Amino acid sequence: MRNKKITIALAGNPNSGKSTIFNNLTGAHQHVGNYPGVTVEKKEGKASFKDYEINVVDLPGTYSLSAYSEDEIVARDFIIKEKPDLIVHIVDSSNLERNLYLATQFMELEIPLVLAMNMSDIAEKKGQDMDYTKLSELLGVAIVPTIGNKNIGTKELLETITKVYEGKIKTKTAHISYGPEIREEMDKLEKIVKKDKALVDQYPWRWLIVKMLENDSSVLDIVGKSSIAQEAISQNEKSRHHLHLHFGDIPETIIAGRRYGFISDVCTEALKPSIKKRHDLSDRIDKVILNRILGIPIFVLVMYAIFKFTFTFSEPVVGWLEKFFEWLSEIAATYIPEGLFQSFVVDGLIGGVGGVLGFFPLVLFMFFAIAFFEDSGYMARAAFVMDKLMSKFGLHGKSFLPMMISTNGCAVPGIMATRTLENKKDRLITMMVTPFMICGAKLPIFALFIGAFFPAKYGANIMFLMYVLSVVIAFASAWLLKKFVFKGETAHFVMELPPYRIPTLKGLLLKMWERGWMYIRKAGTIILLLSIIIWAGFTFPQNTSLEEKGMSEEETAAVQLEQSYAGKAGKIIEPLVRPIGLDGRSGIALIAGIAAKEVVVSTLGTIYSLGEVDPEEPESLREKMQADHSWNPLKAVAFLIFCLIYLPCIAATAVFYRESGSQIKWLLFLIFWTTVLAWGSSFIVYQGGRLLGFGG
Amino acid sequence: MHKLTQARTGLNLIFISVEGGRGAVQRLTDMGLIPGERLKVLHNSGDGPVTVLIKGAKVALGHGLAAKIIVEEE
């Protein structure tokens, strides 16, 4: 049997059930990547049918193919540049007219189109009686009814795809009639555009001229670089001006109106509408969830549920992993002779891999919980409920979740959770401020310092103030970032509220795995590499003469630490941390804290010659620090504020780098922003405190 | 003619125009909101976002955007 390979693109509106159809078509044979240079995910999978191997590319869900969002540009560039053999457009049949708007745009691209009329059961329940044959005739495209969540129609869809590809189903895509006035202007542009043979070989001419009239910036760029640039652009300006005068509205609105008009005509002919149910279950649920009094408590409850689910269920798994890596370390320590190589394997390699995998259960459980609320339709409402409050600070309603996941939790899944935000600017701002929250790893530092320098009765109050401070810093940063860095038109809050649905387990698991695997694939290697670099920084240069001088193991460790590259770096930055009340030793601890925040505590342990200090039980270290007169409560507060704000740990930084589109500029900005903010805040608190007579 | 933010819950309206940038117009167009289109206010608390029914789909509009949308009662 010959294996014929074809590539199809899967397109459709958000909430059209596209990913379910994708899963049905490809099963487990899928992989996720990114489109080059953008944060948009590229999902691909393989389907086998008869003697075909079908490569299915899942395009981002879009409402249109304009040039306004990254998703739309990606979807459209893929179709125009990669020229798939066929486009399968997943249509939510229960929301026909709006969904067909996208179809009218595909129809201009001159690539064979198949419409999968998904959720046909829901449409029927709504009382929609559809004549598919008629609809197919009117649109001039092949149509297959499907019910994605019941896996109905998958085989028929594959059958139709191959038949359309083979030419056994002949279709002639209908052209929308834009009316005589627009048609006249299109004719003028057509004559000009067709003079450039290379241009119309590469792009469908009809699509080019319609998009020109719609003032589409990227099409105007394409035409602007062609040989007929001047003539085409000046004709287009004349035509647009003429149409604007004639209709009294901008041509893009008129063209969109004609498309909707065409759809409306088609639907009237192919649909036999019966009695429509006015109030469905979704409406009743929305009355509660969108209620102005109940909305926010419900929202907080759901967010708390996600948080609780993530950390409660992942805890035992994280525990097993920790035990496993401890066991592995012991094995390595037994079989590898003591020395540099053992240290590399145990502390560098196993420690690094353990660090990467330690986050994995968290990420998986969180994405499962998020997927549940996304697929059920709640997340869209959540954004809506919080939008009023969050938008005051330049954040999005959905920014709340990453910040919540990070508080007492972890910024790594927190940053990953920004994937639920569609707008790039909102995502970047949220990613930048999420690490400011007090994550679980920062807690031991706070416990140590508060325990050492403040009476027990104030402990809880100071901790509470630190939480308040973290929220204030995060929101103030978001506001500043929006005002000065991510300026421009705020993303208008327009969001479809899909009907509530019961998610399928398969869908949830696939979504969880796909996003979780992204963490390992994209951030895992970077985290491992950086862990090893940090290990090397603390291990070299080796000083073997120490033990001979009769020093104890703990003292040796302290001297070794101070003489290592990282220790020397701590000394070098001493003049920089002196104005915020710290010395070289705190400097070393802060540098070590970049590996992981709780390492600040264990490093201080080493500095105070205590050997290994368990961050969870630092009594001995607390006493040592209390006895050290170079510390005082004011310095402790300055140190804590610095810890609260400065550079996130390497795992969070690596995830940030990957999730922000792997652009050095955002990474540098994060480093600069967090460092300056941390130093400035500590400086104000420390120097201000001194002026007021606290400390000494 | 008045702003969408002033429309009571349950009202049937006709979309007239939006005083927004190109991006806002485009987003609304994609959702099916073109001049002359019918919409129904599903939920409007007056000072928050507004949910409307456009072409059978529920759409939430931020307060800022809803304040720029001019509608007419049907």
Which 3 state secondary structure label does DSSP give A173?
Answer: coil
Minimum Cα–Cα distance from B46: chain A residue = A292
Q: What is the mean pLDDT of residues A565-591?
A: 87
Residues in B lying within 8 Å of A, measured between beta carbons: 20-32, 34-37, 42-43, 45, 47-49, 51, 54-65
Cβ contact B60–A496 (<8 Å): yes
- The model's pLDDT over A628-686, given as tens digits with 9 standing for 90+, comes to 888 888 999 999 999 999 999 888 999 999 888 888 999 999 999 999 999 999 999 99
- Asked if A314 contacts A405 with a C-beta cutoff of 8 angstroms, the reply is no
Check if the beta carbon of residue B57 is closer than 8 Å to that of residue A496.
yes
| Shared domain check, A677 and A578 | yes
DSSP letter for each residue of A82-151: I--SEEEEEEEGGGHHHHHHHHHHHGGGTS-EEEEEETHHHHHHTTEEE-HHHHHHHHTSEEEE-BGGGT
Distances (CA, A) of A502 to A179, A647, B56: 44, 41, 20
Q: What band does A517 get if pLDDT is binned at 50, 70 and 90?
A: confident
Q: What is the pLDDT of residue A568?
A: 85
All residues at 6 or more sequence positions from A208 whose CB lies less than 8 Å from its CB, including other chains: A193, A199, A200, A219, A222, A223
State in Å, rounded, how far the first CA of chain B is from the last one.
10
CA A454 – CA A448 distance, rounded (Å): 10
Residue A528 maps to a domain: yes
Residues of A in contact with B40 (CB under 8 A): none
- Give residue A545's pLDDT: 63
Q: How many CB pairs under 8 A join A and B?
A: 110
Is 60 exceeded by the pLDDT of residue A1?
A: no
Q: List chain B residues with CB under 8 Å of A387.
A: 48-49, 62
Indicate if A36 and A108 belong to the same structural domain.
yes
Write out A469-487 in H/E/C secondary structure. Answer: HHHHHHHHHHHHHHHHHCC
Spatial distance between the Cα atoms of A315 and A19, rounded to a whole number of angstroms: 30
From the list B22, B45, B61, which residue is nearest A494 (CB)?
Answer: B61
Angle at the Cα of A214 from the Cα atoms of A211 and A215, rounded to 5 degrees: 95
- How many Å apart are CA B38 and CA A408, to the nearest integer? 47
Query: pLDDT over 70 for what percent of chain A?
Result: 94
Question: Is residue A540 over pLDDT 70?
Answer: yes
Structural domain includes residue A299: no
The alpha-carbon gap from A12 to the nearest alpha carbon of chain B, in Å, equals 13
- Look at residue A25 in the predicted model and tell me its pLDDT: 92
Q: How confident is the model at residue A269 (pLDDT cuts 50, 70, 90)?
A: confident
| CB-based contact B63 A388, cutoff 8 Å | yes
- A612 versus A566: the higher-pLDDT residue is A566
pLDDT of res. A538: 81
Nearest to A595 by CA among A680, A550, A534, A637: A534
- Do A71 and A61 contact (CB within 8 A), yes or no? yes
Span A280-291, average pLDDT: 82
Q: What is the CATH number of the domain that holds A218?
A: 1.10.287.1770
Looking at residues A351-366, what average pLDDT do you find? 82
Chain B residues touching A95 at Cβ < 8 A: 55-57
Task: Specify whether the backbone of A66 is left (phi greater than 0), alpha (psi in -120 to 50) or beta.
Answer: beta
**pLDDT at residue A492, as a whole number:** 66
Does pLDDT of A34 surpass 80?
A: no
Those residues with Cβ within 8 angstroms of residue A225's Cβ, 6 or more apart along the chain or in another chain: none
CA distance B70 to chain A (A): 15
pLDDT at A547 over 70: no
Tally Cβ neighbours within 10 Å of residue A339. Answer: 10
For residue A450, tell me if it sits in a domain: yes
pLDDT in the model for residue A669: 93
Task: Say if residues B50 and A492 touch (Cβ distance below 8 Å).
Answer: no
- Residues in chain B within 8 Å Cβ distance of A500: none
Range scoring the smallest mean pLDDT among A254-258, A459-463, A520-524, A600-604: A520-524
CB B57 within 8 A of CB A99: no
Q: Which residues of A touch B (CB under 8 A)?
A: 63-64, 66, 68, 94-98, 101, 215, 249-250, 252-253, 256-257, 260, 282-283, 286, 290, 292, 380-381, 384, 387-388, 391, 489-490, 492-499
Range A303-307 average pLDDT? 85
Query: Which range (A203-207, A279-283, B37-41) has the least confidence?
Result: A279-283
Looking at per-residue pLDDT, the higher value among A29 and A148 belongs to A148
Q: Provide, as residue numbers in chain B, all residues whose Cβ is less than 8 Å from the Cβ of A267.
A: none
What domain range is B17 assigned to? 2-73
Q: Where are the alpha helices (DSSP H) in A336-392?
A: 340-343, 351-358, 360-375, 378-391
Residue A412 lies in a domain: yes
**Closest among A119, A31, A20, A46 to A508, alpha carbons compared:** A20
Beta strand pairing status for A86-92 and A4-12?
parallel
* Final residue in a domain of this structure, among A238, A273, A308: A273
Q: What is the pLDDT of residue A530?
A: 79
Do B60 and A64 make contact, defined as CB atoms within 8 angstroms? no
CA distance linking residue A653 with residue A407, whole number of Å: 17
Shortest CA distance from A92: residue in chain B: B57
CA distances from A30 to A19, A26, A520, B4 (A): 12, 7, 16, 44
The answer to the question of residue A399 being in a domain is yes
Q: Does B62 contact A391 at a Cβ distance shorter than 8 Å?
A: yes
Q: Contact A290/B56, CB-based, under 8 Å?
A: no
pLDDT of residue A544: 64
On whether residue A279 sits in a domain, the answer given is no
Would you state the pLDDT for residue A491?
A: 60
Q: In this predicted structure, what is the pLDDT of residue A436?
A: 94
Query: Quick one: pLDDT at residue A695?
Result: 62
CATH code, domain with B32: 2.30.30.90
**A113: domain range?**
4-166
The domain boundary residue, chosen from A273, A301, A333: A273
Same domain, A561 and A645: yes
**Residue A361, amino acid:** P
Distance CA A271, CA A253 (A): 26
Is residue A161 domain-shared with residue A192, that is, in the same domain?
no
Q: Is residue A288 part of a domain?
A: no
Contact B27 A252 (CB under 8 A): no
d(CA A293, CA A289): 9
Contact between B63 and A380 using a beta-carbon 8 Å cutoff: no
- Are A184 and A138 in the same domain? no
The verdict on A434 and A532 lying in the same domain is: yes
Same domain, A147 and A253: no
Same domain for A537 and A412, yes or no, is: yes
Pick the closest to residue A77 from A195, A180, A219, A182 (CA basis): A219
For A671, counting Cβ atoms within 10 Å of its Cβ (0-12 exposed, 13-18 middle, 19+ buried), the class is: middle
Q: CB of A108 within 8 A of CB of A136?
A: no
Encoded amino acid at A301, one letter: L
Determine the pLDDT at residue A57: 93
The CATH number that applies at residue A73 is: 3.40.50.300
Domain-embedded: residue A298: no
Q: Which pLDDT score is estimated for A56? A: 94
Look at B22 and A102; give whichever has higher pLDDT: A102
Q: Are residues A203 and A75 located together in one domain of the fold?
A: no
Span A113-125, pLDDT tens digits: 999 999 888 888 8
Percentage of residues of chain A with pLDDT beyond 90? 32
Determine the average pLDDT of the residues in A438-463: 84
Token pair in block for residue A396: 């999005």
Q: Which of A468-482, A544-558, A561-575, A658-672 shows the lowest per-residue confidence on average (mean pLDDT)?
A: A544-558
Mutate to test the interface with B, among A492, A496, A497 (most CBs of B within 10 A): A492
CB spacing of A494 vs B64 below 8 angstroms = no
Is A494's CB within 8 Å of B60's CB?
Answer: yes
More confident residue, A191 or A604: A191
CB contact under 8 A, A292 and B45: yes
- DSSP letter string over B19-64? ---HHHHHHHHHTT--TT-EEEEEEE-SSS-EEEEETTEEEEE-HH
3-state secondary structure of B67: coil
- Torsion of the alpha carbons at A508, A510, A513 and A515, rounded to the nearest 10: -80
Q: Say if residue A55 is in the same domain as residue A197.
A: no
Give the orientation angle of helix A180-193 with respect to helix A205-213, to 10 degrees: 120
Check whether residue A112 and residue A16 sit in a common domain.
yes
Which of A166, A196, A222 terminates a domain? The answer is A166
Structure token pair of residue A113: 């189109």
Q: Do B57 and A492 touch (CB under 8 A)?
A: no
Residue whose tokens read 């702003």: B3
Integer Cα distance of A560 and A345 in angstroms: 19
Stretch A398-406: mean pLDDT: 85
Residue A564 shares a structural domain with residue A649: yes
Q: Closest-CA residue in chain B for A495?
A: B60
Q: Number of structural domains, chain A?
A: 3
Work out how many domains chain B is built from and give that number. Answer: 1
Highest average pLDDT, of A7-16, A347-356, A391-400, comes from A7-16
